[in-house]
Structure 1
Amino acid sequence: MQYNDYRALGTTTFSNGLLAYYPQLKIDDAEMIVIIQLEMFAQKGNFFPTDEQLAANTNLSVSEITALVQKLIEQNFLSIDQISDKSGKIGNKYNLDQLYNQLDLLLEDKIKSGNKKAGNNSSTSSVDNSPLTQLVRQFEIEFGRYLSPIEREEIAFWLNVDHHDPVLIKMALREAVLAQAYSLKYVDRVLLNWQRHNLKTSSEVQKFLRRNH
């Protein structure tokens, strides 16, 4: 199989936040495989794959897939919604919204606890004033729209996993706006480029930008 054959299989967009924190949600590796498969099928337009289809892409048996799906439902990570098409035909679809809602709560708790450790002298340690919330507001202002839960998780990932300075994230956002590229992928590429050049402070970034603009 050639490289272009692999490209023809397509790609799946997935939350870095979920990949980083799924163990803290008490999701085990086998359950995570099922979640990844559900996301893959959904992004291809199949919102209710069979257990046989899910098992075909894994080392799990059909019975194991059935048990894992049921466990995810019992843990309130997954639900089955009833839908109807344009002709009125009733069907089902898997819904992972509850999973991402719980991930949002986990990330907000982490930001809140981080603020308490860093600022015991502060009279307010509200999540509304957290670096994550401030950045989300800034992005929404610049983009002119609300961010999705997955986009919020990406910003949280920059802060908590990549450990990017919030100031540098704002500077990268400004670069995206100047380039009229209103996407987190562009901002991520800017941050990665600065990281490759070992730029860790705003003054270092400013010098780098002056040299390259």
Structure 2
Amino acid sequence: MLVQLLFLKGKSILQFNDYRALGFTTLQNGLIAYYPRLNISDAELLLIIQLEAFNQRGESFPSNEKIAANTNLSVTDVGNLIQRLIDRNYLTIEQTTDDQDKIGNKYSLNKLYDALDQYIDQNILIKDDKKDKTVAVTNNLGNNPLNYLSRKVEVEFGRYLSPIEREEIAQWLSVDHYDPEIIELALREAVLSQAYSLKYIDRVLLNWQRHNLKTPEEVERFLKRNR
């Protein structure tokens, strides 16, 4: 893809739409908000962002040179940061095998996100106005439905969601305007049917929509009649 350049006063400037053509990187808001609580430095966060960006573009084991080229860090700095994250069990190197049985490596940040989830579960509280008390943020569907539902799906599916899957859940909330509790009920139906895919959940939601079911109570009554 050719990138159109504008030249102004001898300098090349990329237009905003040109930057958009380079794509986007999805990063958990929880990581941005609480990385200092995990004793992650700004430089380490920058490295994590780069690893996520490469991984979401399909390159799961970028070289230190490639990472350094995207930052103000030296190759040595990148190597040291990677080792620090590995030493603290936030980053692991896993072995992979492709379709031709070729063995390779990939970086995994799963341990980091496990630590982040544990920190949020144990430390982050919000005010529940209905019950006049504080409750754990991850146990509250109304506080952040997208994060709650994404985590719920990940637990039930036994794997992390891709950025595309997370975007699909976001569209259920913002575009289709499904009640978060109804989405959770649809997830329950998928698990009961051992159908661990968002496509199945989407079909369930569409079916309930065709039956004009708008509240969790209506869905529960519908399910009870059709068991």
Mapped to 1, the partners of 2:32 and 2:105 lie a distance apart of 27
The C-alpha deviation readout for 1:27-62, integer Å capped at 9, x for no partner, is 001111100000000000000000000001110000
Whether contact under 8 Å (2:121, 2:137) holds in the other structure is: no
Query: Which residue of structure 1 aligns with residue 76 of structure 2?
Result: 63
Query: How many aligned positions are there?
Result: 146
Query: Which residue of structure 2 aligns with residue 47 of structure 1?
Result: 60
The C-alpha deviation readout for 1:180-201, integer Å capped at 9, x for no partner, is xx6xxxxxxxxxxxxxxxxxxx
Mapped to 2, the partners of 1:50 and 1:145 lie a distance apart of 31
- Same amino acid, percent of matched pairs: 44
Query: Which residue of structure 2 aligns with residue 189 of structure 1?
Result: none
Match of 1:104 among 117, 128, 131: 117
Asked if residue 15 in structure 1 is aligned to residue 28 in structure 2, the reply is yes
Asked if residue 148 in structure 1 is aligned to residue 172 in structure 2, the reply is no
Report the TM-score, using the length of structure 2 for normalisation: 0.55
Q: Provide runs of 4+ in structure 1 moved above 6 Å.
A: none
Structure number with bigger Rg: 2
Query: SS of the counterpart of 1:94?
Result: strand
CA RMSD, Structure 1 to Structure 2 (Å): 3.5
Listed as ranges, the gaps of 5+ residues in structure 1 are 152-171, 183-213
Match of 1:88 among 78, 86, 101: 101
**CA separation of 1:81 and 1:144: change in aligned 2, threshold 3 A:** closer
Tell me how far 1:146 sits from its aligned partner: 3.5
Query: SS of the counterpart of 1:58?
Result: coil
Report the TM-score, using the length of structure 1 for normalisation: 0.59
Listed as ranges, the gaps of 5+ residues in structure 2 are 1-13, 162-172, 184-227
Whether contact under 8 Å (2:91, 2:110) holds in the other structure is: yes
The structure with higher relative contact order (CA 8 Å, sep 6+) is 1
Tell me how far 1:144 sits from its aligned partner: 11
The C-alpha deviation readout for 1:44-83, integer Å capped at 9, x for no partner, is 0000000000001110000000010011000100000000
Mapped to 2, the partners of 1:131 and 1:104 lie a distance apart of 11
Query: Which residue of structure 2 aligns with residue 133 of structure 1?
Result: 139
Higher helix residue share: 1
Higher strand residue share: 2
